[in-house]
Amino acid sequence: MYVLHRNKLFHCKSKRRKAEIMKKIPHEEIISYPQRVLFLCTHNSARSQMAEALLRLRGGDYYNAYSAGIAPGVLHPLTVKVMTELGIDISNTTRYRAKHLNEFLDQPPIDLVVTVCDRAAEQCPSFPRARRQVHWGFPDPSLATGNEWEQIAVFRHIRDLIATRINQFVREQQALSLPSNSR
């Protein structure tokens, strides 16, 4: 666990040490590692699941990624298929399942909530206990029409857009947060 304050990185070997350090620093100035990131969407069936899986893979130990929905449905089979193409298995029904945002209300504070669809941003403009909230709007691939190949093409396109944004986010956070000797 790491805590960053004013470009000084504290390595916390225990939760107790982390709590001691965090008591001395104003809440809004704390960047804690791993960062808890929640991707929020309407149904938690495609975009938010993709974002969660991609951040888990590309963010390493610096992030704990989660996803949830305002009105969760079921994990879309084409979401599973296009993520498998990248070597990411999200068929595990324990970790990757459609979850309601209420599952995170009694959890420790979320460092960053990212809404990935406009409807979620409108219905949840301020997530309780979120330290920061941003919106990355992506079109809903589940609305794709046509044959299966045409629908898969849409899912791949959205997956690739999300992957690009996740990569950009990870690079920006590393540049802003972590001293070069601790990467």
Mean pLDDT over 59-88 rounds to: 93
Which is the catalytic residue, given 101, 120, 124, 166?
124
| 12 has pLDDT over 80 | no
Which is the catalytic residue, given 40, 41, 98, 110?
41
The pTM (predicted TM-score) of the whole model is 0.79
Write down the residue that tokens 């399942």 correspond to.
Answer: 97
Q: How far apart are CA 165 and CA 146, in angstroms?
A: 27
Q: Is 12 part of the annotated catalytic residue set?
A: no
Which is the catalytic residue, given 117, 121, 154, 162?
117
User: What does the DSSP assignment read for 109-135?
Assistant: PBSEEEE-SHHHHHH-SS-TTBS-EEE
**Out of 3.30.310.80, 3.30.930.10, 3.30.70.260, 3.40.50.2300, which CATH number does the structure's domain 37-182 have?**
3.40.50.2300
- For residue 67, give every residue at least 6 positions away whose Cβ sits within 8 Å of its Cβ, in sequence order, or none: 38, 39, 40, 41, 44, 48, 49, 51, 52, 99
Lowest mean pLDDT among 28-32, 57-61, 121-125: 28-32
Q: Is 124 part of the annotated catalytic residue set?
A: yes
List the chain domain ranges.
1-33, 37-182
